[in-house]
Amino acid sequence: MSALPIITVKDLVKSYGNFKAVKGISFEVKEGEIFGLLGPNGAGKSTTLEIIETLREKTSGTVMVNGFDLDKSPESIKKMIGVQLQTAGFYPNLNLTELIHLFVGLYQNEMDATALLQKVNLEDKAKAKFKELSGGQKQRFSIATTLINKPKIIFLDEPTTGLDPQARRNLWDLIKEIRDNGTTVIITTHYMDEAEVLCDRVAIIDSGKIIAINTPNHLIDELVETGFEKVKEVKKANLEDVFIHLTGKALREE
C-alpha cells in the first residue's frame, strides 16, 4: 500500500451556531486504504465527511484532496470523488438500468450499466425497480452509483447499518474489492467487528475530537499493553459465528 496521503485534514473546525461539532481535528487518509471513521452518534463523523465531500461549509481549517485545496478547487475535488447518497434519494419507481443512465447523464460520463451492475452482483436486477430491492441490494446499488465517475476516493457513511449478517459480509467483500482495484475508501460504521476486519486504519472521534488513530491491530495491542483484560473468558466463537455457521454465508432475498 502506498504511504502517500490522498486526503490531508488540518485543524478542521465546524460550528453550528454556538455549538462546535468538530473541534480542530487533523488526520490523513493514505492512498489505497480503507479508512474508518468511528465514533458514537453525534461525534461529528458525517459533518467531517460532508465537508471533505464539498457538501458542507467548514468554519476553519484546511482540507487537501489529491493535491487540491478545498477552498480553491472544490470542483476538481468533486470530480474525483464518489459519494454514497442516502438510499432514500433514489427514484423508487425507476429500474436500476434507468437509474444508472440518469446518473451517467448527470456526470456526463460513459459507463456501461450492465458492467456496473455486474460489479456489484446485481445484473439479474437490471429491470427491477429500486423499491423492490432488499436492504443489502439497495446498499450495493448505491455503492455502484458512487463508482460511475471512476472516482479516486469513495465516501460511505454507515453503509451496513440495518443489514443482516450475510448482506453485511457481502458488502465487506465488495468494499475490499473496490479498494483492491485502487480506489481509496472512507467509511463510517458503528460496528467494531466490521471496522476490525475491513479497515486498514481507523480514527476514533468523540465529541468532535480525534482520540485515537491507527491500525485496528495496533490500537488493540496498545490497549492490551496497558494491562487491559476482558472480564469474561473469550470463547473461540461468538453468537455471530454460530448464526453464520447455521445459516450460511449465502445472500438472502436475492
> Under the criterion CB under 6 A, does residue 170 sit at the interface with ligand ADP?
no
Give the count of beta carbons closer than 10 Å to the beta carbon of residue 173: 12
For residues 22 and 50, is the Cβ–Cβ distance under 8 A? no
In whole angstroms, the minimum distance from the beta carbon of 129 to ligand ADP comes to 30
Vertex 143, ends 243 and 169: CA angle to 5°?
15
Give the residue among 4, 141, 144, 14 at the shortest CA–CA distance from 70. 14
For Mg ion, which is the closer residue by CB, 41 or 108? 41
For Mg ion, which is the closer residue by CB, 40 or 248? 40
> Under the criterion CB under 5 A, does residue 84 sit at the interface with Mg ion?
no
Element (H, E) at 138: helix 135-146
CA dihedral 86, 1, 194, 134 (to 10 degrees): 40
> Under the criterion CB under 5 A, does residue 160 sit at the interface with Mg ion?
no
For ligand ADP, which is the closer residue by CB, 32 or 36? 36
> Under the criterion CB under 5 A, does residue 46 sit at the interface with Mg ion?
yes
> Under the criterion CB under 6 A, does residue 41 sit at the interface with ligand ADP?
yes
> Under the criterion CB under 6 A, does residue 42 sit at the interface with ligand ADP?
yes
In the numeric block, which cell numbers belong to residue 62? 484546511
Instruction: Choose, by CB under 6 A, the member of 16, 220, 247, 252 that binds ligand ADP.
Output: 16
Binding region for ligand ADP (CB under 6 A) out of 35-43, 97-105, 161-169, 237-245: 35-43
Amino acid making up residue 175: I
Site of grid cell 455471530: 240
Give the residue among 153, 159, 188 at the shortest CA–CA distance from 7. 153
Binding region for ligand ADP (CB under 6 A) out of 40-48, 164-172, 215-223, 246-254: 40-48
> Under the criterion CB under 6 A, does residue 136 sit at the interface with ligand ADP?
no
Among ligand ADP, Mg ion, none, what does residue 91 contact (CB within 5–8 Å per kind)?
Answer: none
For residues 32 and 184, is the Cβ–Cβ distance under 8 A? yes
Q: What is d(CA 158, CA 129) in angstroms, rounded to the nearest whole number?
A: 23
For ligand ADP, which is the closer residue by CB, 7 or 122? 7
Instruction: Choose, by CB under 6 A, the member of 6, 43, 154, 210 that binds ligand ADP.
Output: 43
Burial of 187 (0-12, 13-18, 19+ CB in 10 A): buried
Amino acid making up residue 243: F
Per rule CB under 5 A, count of chain residues that contact Mg ion: 2
For ligand ADP, which is the closer residue by CB, 16 or 91? 16
Binding region for ligand ADP (CB under 6 A) out of 39-47, 117-125, 164-172, 196-204: 39-47
In the numeric block, which cell numbers belong to residue 104? 451517467
Among ligand ADP, Mg ion, none, what does residue 43 contact (CB within 5–8 Å per kind)?
Answer: ligand ADP
Residues found near ligand ADP in the complex (CB under 6 A): 16, 21, 39, 41-47
